[in-house]
Amino acid sequence: MSNIITTFQEKNIIAGTFPVVVDSLEVKTNVLAGDIIGISATKTFGKLDDATYTEVFGIAYDDALATTPCTVILTGEIAGTFVNMPESKELETKNSLRKISLFIK
């Protein structure tokens, strides 16, 4: 865990009462708020893709550039309008998010 202090802006993305947990993680790719964060086989984090960051890990709360810290939502009920869901794998991605206690409403 890092010692980075983050501040939050009200984004109206919380869609229920399930506890929301966030952490600051260094991402290796550019990400936008709402992007699904994946983890690679070498335990680095970046925008979910089919090649490197293939395992769902969380949702980016803010925009971040590669090799910089990003606030990542790890659990909670999140508004579907906030999440940048991959169109071709929407159902599969939602199921993967549910397994790590991220519920898209």
pLDDT tens digits for 40-85?
999 999 999 999 999 999 999 999 999 999 999 999 999 999 999 9
71-101 CB burial, b ≥16 within 10 A, e <16: bbbbbbbbeeebbebeeeeeeebbebbeeee
Q: Within its chain, how far is the Cα of 49 from the centroid?
A: 13
What single-letter amino acid sits at 49? Answer: D
Evaluate if pTM is beyond 0.85: yes
- 94 pLDDT exceeds 80? yes
In this predicted structure, what is the pLDDT of residue 16?
80
Q: Give the containing element (helix H, strand E) for 34.
A: none
